[in-house]
Structure 1
Amino acid sequence: MNETSSLPSAAPMSRRGTILYEAQNLVVKGGTGIATYARNLAEAAGRLGFNVDGLFGVEHGLAQSDGRLNEILAFDAVDDDKRLTPLEVAWRNVRYPFNALGGVKPVELARSGLIVGPTADTLRSFRRLFAATQLIDVCRAHFSIYGRLAQLRVEERPAIFHATHPVPLALRGCPNIYTIHDLVPIRLPYATMDNKKYFYRLLTTLARTADHIVTVSEYSRRDIIKYLGVDERRVTNTYQAVTIPSDLLARSDDDVAEDLAKLFGLDFGKYFLFFGAIEPKKNVGRLIDAYSASGSKLPLILASSAGWQNRADLKKIRDERFSTFRISDGVVRRERQVRRLEYMPQGQLSSLIRGATAVLFPSIYEGFGLPVIEAMALGTPVMTSNAASLPEVAAEAALIVDPYSVTEMAHAIRTLEADADLRTALVKRGHEQAKRFTPNAYDERLKRLYDSILRPSQKPS
């Protein structure tokens, strides 16, 4: 446990104090599953009556006295293609070991409403925002060199500091909670690009020093207890919340069909869909092989960010086997049976999910598997795998396959395409399963967690 922590008494429900969230992923370009988690977490804490503050890192140096300028600098564009000069790299390497020696001192950003757009909207749940230049890089360098967590220095101590993913940062004088979504870099080291030595050392340190660890499935909870040696009383599974905006749920099939035709040239209910990053654990290569073996004439759409370690998968997506030709209005058009679409706004992705014959998500490891429940909430049948947390999350509401068996996946694809009664049954069961992960259900789990932290005698169930 964190020996420097002092646990304050809980305040009444209407004034429960402040939770400071590390929310770095909310400002990552393109969005991540952890960003969705952090956003839902902050919104839930607000509903529970907490003041919600956010902390994240920015690329640019911040002024100590000009809040409005900092508001601008925090959201300034970063050139992804720009490469640091050797001198800039050397200067960063020289500075990093010393940047956190006196503690990390974030700057509070003004909330004037000056900044508009999606990123600003994403942060609307936070009462106050704090930023530090290159926060994560500085903390990582400090931990790698000195073997201890960097200390966060803030003027007003929150009731709780909650990091939404493993970061080497702590705040004295309040409970420190860390969300560990899964142990993928440890259990599937060949599937990620993480620095395994750093990640292992960080997780074992957090396992020893955190006041509490949060995770998102019973599978991940058992992994954390077993492989990190954490007392089961210090690990709580809250699952995740799945929130689909009401305006997207209320859209008619005709409206969705019109979007699909105009935006993507797709017919409602006439394609299979995978969405997520193209990375080893997502099993996209085997999915494409299974799709090919299934003989399906429906297109396979991959709505995906670039990911990593995916050269072979991208080559399969471009394979000429998946080129077809269609005559339309007397014109011969070339079409792709396997198509990849880049990252897109939530509204467009929701239309893609709504209109799919089925969502195919045969991942070999997930801490939770958010796409499964998102598809169910939107009324789309799901095929997923029997690996890690996915059977737990999907329960009886999905077609479950061995993710390593191309033959089994191909059979499932053929079955989903041919059996309308099965699809109808999966949609019905999926709606019921999705109710387990509504914001209301999540609020109850989160309330028990935070009550147990603020009242140590009360343990989460």
Structure 2
Amino acid sequence: MAKRKKIIVIEAQRIFRRNKHGMDFVALEMIRGLQQLDTFNQYIIAVGPGQDRCLSETENFTIAILESSNYLIWEQILLPRLLTQVKADLLHCTSNTAPLWISIPLVLTLHDIIFIEKKIGSNSSMYQNLGRIYRRWVVPRILNKVYKVITVSDFERNNITRAFPRLRDQVITIYNGVSTRFKPLPFCADPRFSALEKGSYWLLLGNTDPKKNLKNTLRAYAYYLQESQYKKKLLLADLDHTHLDKLLAELDLQIIKDYLIVEEYIPHDLLVQVYNKAFAFLYPSIRESFGLPLLEAMACGTPVVTSDTSAIPEVAEDSVVYSNPHDITSIGSAMLQLENDSMLYDHLIVKGLARSARFDWHQTATKTLNIYESIY
């Protein structure tokens, strides 16, 4: 019997926005991998409006821009309407949620189920709280009708199957990849960072989500400054000055401000330069379903100080320095250990490059396509 061509709709609502989050990059890179891999099936990539046209159409990949900035209307009205118009055979939703009323097989990428777990911290924005409520209401309902669930680590797969035992045979782990642009560079061309001496700073992504552990990391950095003979600066990426000033006042850490370099926004394509010039990358997160930034840093030849929690040990194995994210002294001591042990530092560069090389988007796309092909 001849192989039947499928019409596959992939939801990638937010990939055209300028300030992308982790799930957006995962969807974008997975789609790019499918473009290189599959020239047979017909794909419609459903996106929302945005200025960053980061994906190009190919002969069998069409982009459909659904014009609404309202997430609920976009997902529950416009996306199902598109499925009917194109007579889709399959829908793949890439960012945890999906339409409630569809009549075709659904593949859902469920990055995590943090939304049903006890909240970490209490300083979430109204937008984050509304998103949590929406996911708590929608996700259990769509899981009743899903064909397959893709998640990004065995750690998260175990979480999902404990919470939803009926999905045990439907949840599949497919690891994220690392873009080939993350690699060691001989020099950094961007003038914003050319003045920074290589190895002169620690790098921290300044995400204010409580699970990212920003407060404890700043406290640990203050401990590091007390104990270090080198006192390297800390580059905070994606954190605005106003929020930082409030945070330093709250923590009574104004004394460290002169050691901080603040970049309110660094485009993703420039992160490779920032990783390359950093002495090391700080990633003491409390809860991660995967942890893509630590692999990006490792792929650039930059050692990592991170947490011994959640999916991080599964992804990083023995290629990083681990710490207890709840213990300020543990984080600070891990920083000092890396700074004072040059043999360890050089060893982790080699280990990190080798470990990160095992994660690539071609593998992610291949395993995803296998799921598509298993339908019908």
For this structure pair, what is the TM-score category when the shorter chain's length is used for normalisation?
0.7 to 0.9
Corresponding residue for residue 55 of structure 1: 46
Identity of matched residues, %:
24
Corresponding residue for residue 31 of structure 1: 20
The answer to whether 1:11 aligns with 2:3 is: yes
- Distance in 2, Cα, partners of 1:155 & 1:410: 56
With the length of structure 1 as denominator, give the TM-score of the two structures.
0.71
SS, match of residue 154 in structure 1: helix
SS, match of residue 182 in structure 1: coil
Corresponding residue for residue 69 of structure 1: none
Q: Which runs of 5+ in 2 are unaligned?
A: none
Deviation (angstroms), 1:315:
4.3
- Distance in 2, Cα, partners of 1:383 & 1:10: 52
Are 2:11 and 2:93, in contact at CA under 8 Å, matched by a contact in 1? yes
Pick closer, same or farther for the CA change 1:311–1:167 going to 2, 3 Å.
farther
The answer to whether 1:136 aligns with 2:77 is: no
Are 1:268 and 1:356, in contact at CA under 8 Å, matched by a contact in 2? yes
Give the number of equivalent residue pairs. Answer: 361
Deviation (angstroms), 1:194:
2.7
- Distance in 2, Cα, partners of 1:168 & 1:197: 14
* One of 320, 327, 341 as aligned partner of 2:254: 320
* One of 191, 194, 208 as aligned partner of 2:129: 194
The answer to whether 1:339 aligns with 2:261 is: yes
Are 1:364 and 1:403, in contact at CA under 8 Å, matched by a contact in 2? yes
- Distance in 2, Cα, partners of 1:374 & 1:35: 15
Deviation (angstroms), 1:178:
1.2
Q: Give the aligned residue type for 1:421.
A: M
1:304-344 superposed Cα distances (whole Å, 9 cap, x missing partner):
256xx988646469943124xxxxxxxxxxxx312221222
* One of 441, 444, 452 as aligned partner of 2:363: 441
- Distance in 1, Cα, partners of 2:117 & 2:285: 14
Are 1:271 and 1:298, in contact at CA under 8 Å, matched by a contact in 2? yes
The answer to whether 1:216 aligns with 2:152 is: yes
- Distance in 2, Cα, partners of 1:339 & 1:317: 18
- Distance in 2, Cα, partners of 1:128 & 1:318: 53
Deviation (angstroms), 1:425:
0.8
1:275-298 superposed Cα distances (whole Å, 9 cap, x missing partner):
252221110111111111012410
Deviation (angstroms), 1:183:
1.5
The answer to whether 1:293 aligns with 2:285 is: no
Corresponding residue for residue 80 of structure 1: none
- Distance in 1, Cα, partners of 2:105 & 2:57: 25
The answer to whether 1:21 aligns with 2:7 is: no
SS, match of residue 243 in structure 1: coil
SS, match of residue 26 in structure 1: coil
Are 2:206 and 2:214, in contact at CA under 8 Å, matched by a contact in 1? no
* One of 177, 191, 196 as aligned partner of 1:241: 177
Corresponding residue for residue 185 of structure 2: 251
- Distance in 2, Cα, partners of 1:399 & 1:209: 42
SS, match of residue 189 in structure 1: coil
- Within 5 A, what are the aligned runs for 1:108-187? 119-124=52-57, 127-134=61-68, 136-138=71-73, 152-169=82-99, 172-187=102-117
Deviation (angstroms), 1:385:
0.6
Corresponding residue for residue 202 of structure 2: 272
Pick closer, same or farther for the CA change 1:168–1:447 going to 2, 3 Å.
closer
1:59-95 superposed Cα distances (whole Å, 9 cap, x missing partner):
xxxxxxxxxxxxxxx65xxxxxxxxxxxxxxxxxxxx
Are 1:46 and 1:52, in contact at CA under 8 Å, matched by a contact in 2? no
Pick closer, same or farther for the CA change 1:448–1:141 going to 2, 3 Å.
closer
Are 2:14 and 2:48, in contact at CA under 8 Å, matched by a contact in 1? no
Q: Which runs of 5+ in 1 are unaligned?
A: 1-8, 59-73, 76-118, 143-148, 324-335, 456-461
Q: Give the aligned residue type for 2:42.
A: N
Q: Following TM superposition, where does structure 1 have runs of at least 4 consecutive aligned residues deviating by more than 6 angstroms?
A: none
Deviation (angstroms), 1:211:
1.4
Are 1:236 and 1:449, in contact at CA under 8 Å, matched by a contact in 2? no
Deviation (angstroms), 1:26:
0.4
Pick closer, same or farther for the CA change 1:153–1:160 going to 2, 3 Å.
closer
Deviation (angstroms), 1:396:
0.9
Pick closer, same or farther for the CA change 1:140–1:42 going to 2, 3 Å.
closer
With the length of structure 2 as denominator, give the TM-score of the two structures.
0.85
Are 2:204 and 2:281, in contact at CA under 8 Å, matched by a contact in 1? yes
Deviation (angstroms), 1:360:
0.6
Q: Give the aligned residue type for 1:348.
A: L
Deviation (angstroms), 1:30:
0.9
- Distance in 2, Cα, partners of 1:409 & 1:228: 34
Deviation (angstroms), 1:228:
2.9
Are 1:285 and 1:312, in contact at CA under 8 Å, matched by a contact in 2? no
SS, match of residue 356 in structure 2: helix
Pick closer, same or farther for the CA change 1:21–1:140 going to 2, 3 Å.
closer
Are 1:277 and 1:305, in contact at CA under 8 Å, matched by a contact in 2? yes
SS, match of residue 209 in structure 1: coil
1:118-171 superposed Cα distances (whole Å, 9 cap, x missing partner):
x123355782122333262315787xxxxxx96654322233211111334167
Pick closer, same or farther for the CA change 1:408–1:229 going to 2, 3 Å.
same
SS, match of residue 343 in structure 1: coil
- Distance in 2, Cα, partners of 1:389 & 1:250: 25
Q: Give the aligned residue type for 2:53.
A: A
Pick closer, same or farther for the CA change 1:318–1:370 going to 2, 3 Å.
farther
- Distance in 2, Cα, partners of 1:10 & 1:178: 28
- Within 5 A, what are the aligned runs for 1:75-94? 75=51
RMSD, aligned α-carbons: 3.0
- Distance in 1, Cα, partners of 2:327 & 2:316: 19
Pick closer, same or farther for the CA change 1:204–1:173 going to 2, 3 Å.
closer
The answer to whether 1:203 aligns with 2:136 is: no
SS, match of residue 172 in structure 2: strand
